Structure 1
Amino acid sequence: MSVSNVDLSAPCDHVEQAQIRRVKRPARGCEDCLKIGGQWVHLRACLTCGHVSCCDSSPNRHATKHFQTTRHPIVTSVEVGEDWTWCYIDEQFLST
């Protein structure tokens, strides 16, 4: 299991809400899908609380639901080979 550092130096007013600076990859799976027996396509990690959930290409779209419920705006991909961070509020990619 590798660990990737996330640099949140992008011009986004919401990066200060990101408390998680290191994300473990690969993740076990979408925490919400694992509870209900659901399937996921790609995984995202919330950088405020560390919650791992599925992308919008997945049937349940748990990462977006997590944002809508918690208002935690910053997620990063936990897929091997992907290195990006996204702000739901600004709807923009941040530099990593």
Structure 2
Amino acid sequence: MKSCTHLDQIREVTPSADGCEDCLRVGAEWVHLRLCMTCGHVGCCDDSPNRHATKHFRKVRHPIIKSFEPGEDWGWCFVDELDLDATAWPVRGPVAHSV
């Protein structure tokens, strides 16, 4: 079974916004939100028109995101292409967000 080799890059992060920060800047909409576990960037998912979470990964190479949806405790490693259990990952500040 393959395991993620990037778990050491998970940090205690503070979400950068209560919605996709890039969509909020330009007035766009999103479907679901993802939280970068290296820097706290909040971006929209790949089902959203702008796919800002993936664009953030491609730009800065931060490998791990966590779902920023209420009640969801899963993560994803872009590099290893693995689903991850994010139940115990540290997040500072509010985890509620705009709809």
Q: Which runs of 5+ in 2 are unaligned?
A: 87-99
* SS of match in other structure, 2:54: helix
Cα drift, residue 75 of structure 1: 0.2
User: Where has structure 1 moved over 4 Å in runs of 4 or more?
Assistant: none
Q: What is aligned with 1:29? A: 19
CA distance in 1, matches of 2:84, 2:4: 8
Q: Normalization by structure 1: what TM-score?
A: 0.80
Q: Which runs of 5+ in 1 are unaligned?
A: 1-10
Q: What is aligned with 1:17? A: 9
C-alpha RMSD over aligned residues: 1.9
Q: Normalization by structure 2: what TM-score?
A: 0.77
Cα drift, residue 19 of structure 1: 1.4
Q: Give the alignment of 1:55-94 within 5 angstroms.
A: 55-94=45-84
- Checking the alignment, whether the CA contact within 8 Å between 1:19 and 1:48 is kept in structure 2 is yes
Cα drift, residue 54 of structure 1: 0.2
Letter in 1 for 2:6: H
CA distance in 1, matches of 2:75, 2:14: 11
Cα drift, residue 82 of structure 1: 1.1
Identity of aligned residues (%): 60
Equivalent residues, number: 84
Letter in 2 for 1:14: H
Higher strand share: 1
